[in-house]
Amino acid sequence: MTELLSDTGRKTMLEPLFKSGWEMVEGRDAIAKTYTFDDFTAAFAFMTRTALWAEKWDHHPEWTNVYKVVQVTLSTHDVGGLSALDAKLARKMDQLAE
Ligand code: HBI
């Protein structure tokens, strides 16, 4: 059963993400990051790579794409806030964006 990240869970799982550009969303238990790619096709290819993992893990980002910019917000709707799944997907997205 997915559960809200505990305080210690937040420390260990979110701190590294804050170092790689993720931030807490104002007024919401969620994290967000903006990725900028070389062009639209690179941005869309990143979204396609991410989509395969989101589907595999049944955990999907809230995201927008404008030209070469992808804005991502992660939260777990089932628990109304951040879970380990969000940290896992965030780490994966950082890998896929390299
Ligand atoms: N994606 N980000 C996110 N959060 C969820 O709670 C979530 C999801 N994708 C699918 C999903 N939940 C379903 O498993 C449930 O809505 C049944």
Identify the CATH class of 7-97: alpha beta
Distance 41 CA to ligand 1 centre (A): 27
**What are the two backbone dihedrals, phi and then psi, of residue 22, each rounded to the nearest 5 degrees?**
-80, 145
Distance 60 CA to ligand 1 centre (A): 6
**What are the two backbone dihedrals, phi and then psi, of residue 30, each rounded to the nearest 5 degrees?**
-155, 160
CA dist 61 and 57 (Å) reads 11
Answer whether 0.90 is exceeded by the pTM: yes
Q: What is the mean pLDDT of the chain?
A: 97
Residues in a beta bridge with 22? none
Q: Over the stretch 59-75, which tens digit does the pLDDT of each residue have? A: 999 999 999 999 999 99
The residue to mutate among 62, 78, 89, having the most atoms of ligand 1 within 8 angstroms of its beta carbon, is: 78
Residue 54 in this model has a pLDDT that exceeds 80? yes
Token pair, residue 39, equals 């062009």
Helices assigned H by DSSP within 33-83 = 40-57
CA dist 85 and 90 (Å) reads 8
Give the closest residue (by CA) to ligand 1 atom 7: 59
Please tell me if the CB atom of residue 1 comes closer than 6 angstroms to any atom of ligand 1.
Answer: no
Confirm if 42 and 68 have CB atoms less than 8 A apart: yes
